[in-house]
């Protein structure tokens, strides 16, 4: 029996405009597909498309976990890096972490969520000890991330 090996990409989509960035897992998948086809052709999509899936997306922190086959993770990584808009909204993709297991992707996602929430609190001039909706979000997002299955 052959084991299928995957890579997990943790990506943050930083919005260029100050407006709200309302994306969905489906729109992210379609944008990555379009980027792969545009930059790497049908051969690139033939390799990436078999295993590409969006496992998690948070509209609050704009964090996304992508799963792709090990052989073509560099192609998917390049396509994500070359993205400049999703659904007509300009974004700057930042690949935060690439992992071989979902467990390490989950650990990196939870840690990076805390960094993004600290950034949002600093922008709102809220101390870290202040109990706000972000604290509830951190707890629910941590549960959602750790519940992900391969």
pLDDT digits (tens, 9 = 90+) for 38-80: 999 999 999 999 999 999 999 888 999 999 999 999 999 999 9
| Third-level CATH fold of 6-146 | Alpha-Beta Plaits (3.30.70)
| Residue 130 pLDDT | 62
Q: How far apart are CA 4 and CA 97, in angstroms?
A: 20
| Residue 21 pLDDT | 77
Residue 131 confidence class, pLDDT cut points 50, 70, 90: low
Q: What is the pTM of this model?
A: 0.88
Please state the three-class secondary structure of the chain as a single string.
CCCCCEEEEEEEEEECCCCCCCCCHHHHHHHHHHHHHHHHHHHHHHHHCCCCEEEEEECCCCEEEEEEEHHHHHHHHHHHHCCCEECCEEEEEEEEEEECCHHHHHHHHHHHHHHHHHHHHHHCCCCCCCCCHHHHHHHHHHHHHHCCCC
* 19 or 110, higher pLDDT: 110
> Which of 4, 7, 3, 14 has the alpha carbon at shortest distance from 108?
7
Q: Is the dihedral of CA 26, 27, 29, 30 positive or negative?
A: positive
Q: How far apart are CA 8 and CA 55, in angstroms?
A: 9
Residue 30 confidence class, pLDDT cut points 50, 70, 90: very high
Share of the chain above pLDDT 70, in %: 94
């Amino acid at each position: 029996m052959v084991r299928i090996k995957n890579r997990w990409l943790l990506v943050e989509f930083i919005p260029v405009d100050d407006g709200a960035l309302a994306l969905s897992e489906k729109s992210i998948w379609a944008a990555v597909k379009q980027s792969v086809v545009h930059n790497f052709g049908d051969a690139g999509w033939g390799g990436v498309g078999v295993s590409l899936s969006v496992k998690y997306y948070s509209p609050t922190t704009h964090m996304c976990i992508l799963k792709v086959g090990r052989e073509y993770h560099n192609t998917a990584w390049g396509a994500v890096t070359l993205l400049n808009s999703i659904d007509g909204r300009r974004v700057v993709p930042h690949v935060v972490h690439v992992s071989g297991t979902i467990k390490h992707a989950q650990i990196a996602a939870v840690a990076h969520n805390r960094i993004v929430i600290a950034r949002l609190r600093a922008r709102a001039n809220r101390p870290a000890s202040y109990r706000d909706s972000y604290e509830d979000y951190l707890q629910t997002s941590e549960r959602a991330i750790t519940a992900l299955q391969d």
